[in-house]
């Protein structure tokens, strides 16, 4: 697979690569991964499907960069995969930032509500351990 580097807005320090992250086998052992998923590792966003990366998704991954900076991506990912509670603790702030950035650029109330529901469904899904209902997830994100 190619490793094409894409450029992002200057204010983002993130690199984007259309490839799988280095620990993809560990991730696959735990999570139902598809090539529509994107991954933060170190200071790189891995986007294997090469899909469009809206600003709010980049902002979400940047939260994970900050979280990983404390102990490094190897330890962070190990905990993230081993402990669904830790996973949720990391994902709630990332989803909150994602929704805040979306709302900043999309002033339509209906689109904002739809976005919140989409994020709630994502956070409540098996990918993150199914630890919440959709409504609980929406409350946590809002």
Q: Which residues contact Zn ion (rule: CB under 5 A)? A: 91, 94
8 A C-beta contact, residue 123 and residue 137: yes
Angle between helices 84-105 and 55-71 (to 10 degrees): 140
Min dist. Cβ of residue 109 to Zn ion (A): 25
CB-nearer residue toward Zn ion: 56 or 91: 91
CB-nearer residue toward Zn ion: 18 or 67: 67
Of 14, 18, 25, nearest to 2 by C-alpha is: 18
Half-sphere exposure of 24 (CA within 13 A, CB side): 13
CB-nearer residue toward Zn ion: 108 or 121: 121
Min dist. Cβ of residue 81 to Zn ion (A): 13
Of 39, 77, 72, 35, nearest to 58 by C-alpha is: 39
CA distance 95 to 10: 23
Min dist. Cβ of residue 123 to Zn ion (A): 9
CB-nearer residue toward Zn ion: 103 or 127: 127
Min dist. Cβ of residue 85 to Zn ion (A): 15
């Amino acid at each position: 697979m190619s490793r094409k580097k894409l450029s992002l807005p200057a204010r983002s320090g993130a690199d984007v690569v259309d490839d799988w992250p280095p620990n993809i086998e560990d991730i696959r052992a735990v999570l139902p991964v598809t090539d529509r998923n994107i991954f933060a590792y170190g200071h790189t966003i891995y986007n294997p499907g090469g899909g469009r990366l809206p600003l709010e998704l980049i902002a979400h991954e940047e939260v994970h960069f900050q979280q990983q900076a404390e102990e490094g991506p190897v330890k962070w990912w190990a905990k993230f995969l081993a402990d669904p509670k830790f996973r949720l603790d990391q994902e709630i702030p990332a989803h909150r930032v994602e929704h805040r950035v979306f709302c900043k650029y999309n002033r339509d109330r209906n689109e904002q509500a739809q976005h919140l529901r989409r994020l709630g469904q994502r956070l409540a899904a098996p990918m993150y351990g199914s630890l919440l209902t959709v409504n609980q997830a929406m409350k946590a994100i809002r």
